[in-house]
Amino acid sequence: MSRTKVQIFAGFITLFLLQNFIFGQNYLVGFSKESINPNATILSSPLAGFGDPKQGRFSISFQETGIAKNAVAMCSSDTKFYMATSDNKLWQADITAGALNWVSIGTAYYVTALAYGNGKLYGTDKYNKLWTKNPDENDSPWVNIGFAYETTGLTFLNNKLYGTKKNNTLWVRDTSPFNVPWKNIGKANAVRSLTNDGTNLIALSKYDNDLWTRSISSSNDSWSKIGAPNRTTYGTYLSNIAYTNNKLYLTSSKNKLYYAQHNQTPIYAYASYFEKNSKKALIITLDLCGINYSFSRKIKAEIKNTFNIDENAILINCSHTHYAPLSQGYSCLQDFYRNPDPKYLDIVKNSVLTATQNAINNKTDSNLSFVKGKTNIGYNRADISKDLDNNITMVMAKQSNTNTVNGVIMSASTHPVWHSQPRDFVTISSNYVGATRDKLGILKNINNVQLMQGCAGDINPYKTDTPDQTANKLTQDFSNLFSASSSAVTGEITVKFDSIAIPLNNFTFNKAVSIKKANTGKFDQTSERNVRWANRIIHQYTSGTLAKSATVYIQILKIGDWNIIALSREAVSQYAIDLYNHFDPMKLTVLGYSNDVSSYLPVKWHIKKAVPNYEGYESFFIYGQSGVPVDNVEDIILTKIYTMMQ
């Protein structure tokens, strides 16, 4: 071989090795997001994040859709509304019509409640009689089929009639056209109107205009609140309700007809997928206040079965917005905060699976770079003199063939609690977390902007800033990182996942008894919460089920030399501060609110404050915990992390 050919061959080999070295540092990266807003199958959702006000915050609001003049009772079929009015007339209107046109179809004397089922109307009157008729326009006669004493609400479900009485009871009977007896199946306090969604009963209360629902599976089922007047999206003027075609309709004392809808702006499940040399990792962020470990494990198991991603390589982080539907149980708050709606959790799970699939489908050969900076959007609310985690990090993904930015994954320690207007307080939203994502995406022309929540347990935004002002500041700080010096992310994907049992200083039995005694007979939200907590702890002592430790989950996800340390629970700033200092100058992102958000995670100074504070004391009543972590909780957790990082 000639010298020239040898040189050319050597050049090709060098180029080949260089290309393989360059491309060997790249990752397959994909992004996606899916809505996790509740749909029409969910009538209303309590919003998580605050125990106050006592009557609760709900997503339900009302949109005017027509006139319903002088209505005293209302019901509906799939296609028609039926209304009895105070002048003893019966009317119908076509639901599918663009504008409601009420047509008189006869008389309805002294009606107290109406129901529709199996092609017939049923009605009760002030003389305690139950009637039925064909709902046609020929004024067919009403036929008496029995008695219905002091009926306030009536509905047809599963071929049975359910009725409420003035004495606050719920009754059921067959629809047979005979005087069959009613059967008492429980309580129904001060019901003004009754309907159902095909599965559960829905009631409107007379005095406070609250909305309630309950199942009919047994007579022991209890009612759960799904709506309460808030003077913004929900007034105190409702009088009758009817449910059809996945919508709740309501008449008002103002002679108007409304339909219920969620008061909401978009919230999302985001997915970032990473792959290198057959190793895979997935980062999911949810616009939720928090999730329980059992739910995150369920999601991870389905992802593993569907997409063959190691469960330990799946990180689920919550934005901790205080304006999201309930997604975890709070055992000591009001009853509507104790159990999230399974239908809503299914929406979240299915959206995560879809986002994961799309992120995998969207994967492109990309190079990653890491950059770190600072922000100034808040203060340490537990002690203004203390430091807070003001670190922000950003990983940028650029497509290898075009060098264009395909997506960014950011982190910041924020606490989305503020609102600008009263309407915001009862609106589903991602708060300034979502606003920051949107603003940065527009500013930098990037479609995929994902924000992970850091250790924000004791951080609040400045009280003088609106959510939009906070978002503007955070957006600018992240925007500045695009011009800052960044470092290439290189290396393999590795994961570790473990847990540690943190010993608790339990509240004593006598302490629980004294708290119960001090709060019994008081009817403010905090006192009632404390009584529920005390009853819970007393039961755990007497049944031998009192927890003596609290599990903290620690996940370490290494995408090359980008290290993510993710803690469960509401970790306070000091964890992030210490970890960033200890591992400086490592490419590091520290997160809280990951995989499980079942209590606060304070450090010693929160616990030892002379005046009991929220993060180190009161929050454990909110979460129904049996005790406070031991003083050296941070040392225990950091020691575990240092070992896992080796």
Res 162: pLDDT: 98
49 and 120 share one domain: no
529 domain residue, yes or no: no
Res 611: pLDDT: 86
- Calculate mean pLDDT across residues 365-374: 98
Rounded CA gap, 421 and 466, in Å?
Answer: 9
314 and 342 share one domain: yes
Phi, psi of 595, deg, nearest 5:
70, -25
302 domain residue, yes or no: yes
| 536 contacts 622 by C-beta, under 8 angstroms | no
pLDDT in tens, 565-601: 999 999 999 999 999 999 999 999 999 999 999 999 9
512 domain residue, yes or no: no
Res 181: pLDDT: 95
pLDDT in tens, 260-306: 999 999 999 999 999 999 999 999 999 999 999 999 999 999 999 99
Which of 217, 244, 262 corresponds to the end of one domain? Answer: 262
* CATH number of the domain where residue 117 is located: 2.120.10.30
pLDDT in tens, 44-66: 999 999 999 999 999 999 999 99
456 domain residue, yes or no: yes
338 and 432 share one domain: yes
Q: Which candidate, 443, 441, 418, places its Cα nearest to that of 322?
A: 418
- Calculate mean pLDDT across residues 427-442: 98
pLDDT of 527 strictly over 60: yes
Res 612: pLDDT: 83
Residue 178 belongs to domain spanning: 60-262
482 and 562 share one domain: yes
pLDDT of 16 strictly over 50: no
> What's the pLDDT band for 12 if we cut at 50, 70, 90?
very low
Res 18: pLDDT: 39
Give me the number of domains the chain comprises: 2
309 domain residue, yes or no: yes
246 and 343 share one domain: no
Which of 229, 262, 295 corresponds to the end of one domain? Answer: 262
69 and 217 share one domain: yes
Q: If you average pLDDT over every residue of the chain, what do you get?
A: 94
273 and 370 share one domain: yes
pLDDT of 20 strictly over 50: no
- Calculate mean pLDDT across residues 611-616: 92
The amino acid that residue 498 corresponds to is D
Q: Which spans in 324-395 are helix H?
A: 342-361
Res 158: pLDDT: 96
Res 96: pLDDT: 86
315 and 255 share one domain: no
Which of 210, 240, 262 corresponds to the end of one domain? Answer: 262
pLDDT in tens, 204-252: 999 999 999 999 988 878 999 999 999 899 988 899 999 999 999 999 9
| 230 contacts 426 by C-beta, under 8 angstroms | yes
The two tokens of residue 297 are 């494990």
89 and 200 share one domain: yes
240 and 321 share one domain: no
- In the block, which residue shows the tokens 């309407």? 423
304 and 439 share one domain: yes
Instruction: Tell me what percent of the residues of the chain surpass a pLDDT of 70.
Output: 96
Sheet holding 111-117: strands in order across?
Answer: 111-117, 120-125, 129-133, 143-147
pLDDT in tens, 101-127: 999 999 999 999 999 999 999 999 999
100 and 74 share one domain: yes
Res 177: pLDDT: 84
17 domain residue, yes or no: no
The pTM for the full model equals: 0.94
Res 137: pLDDT: 77
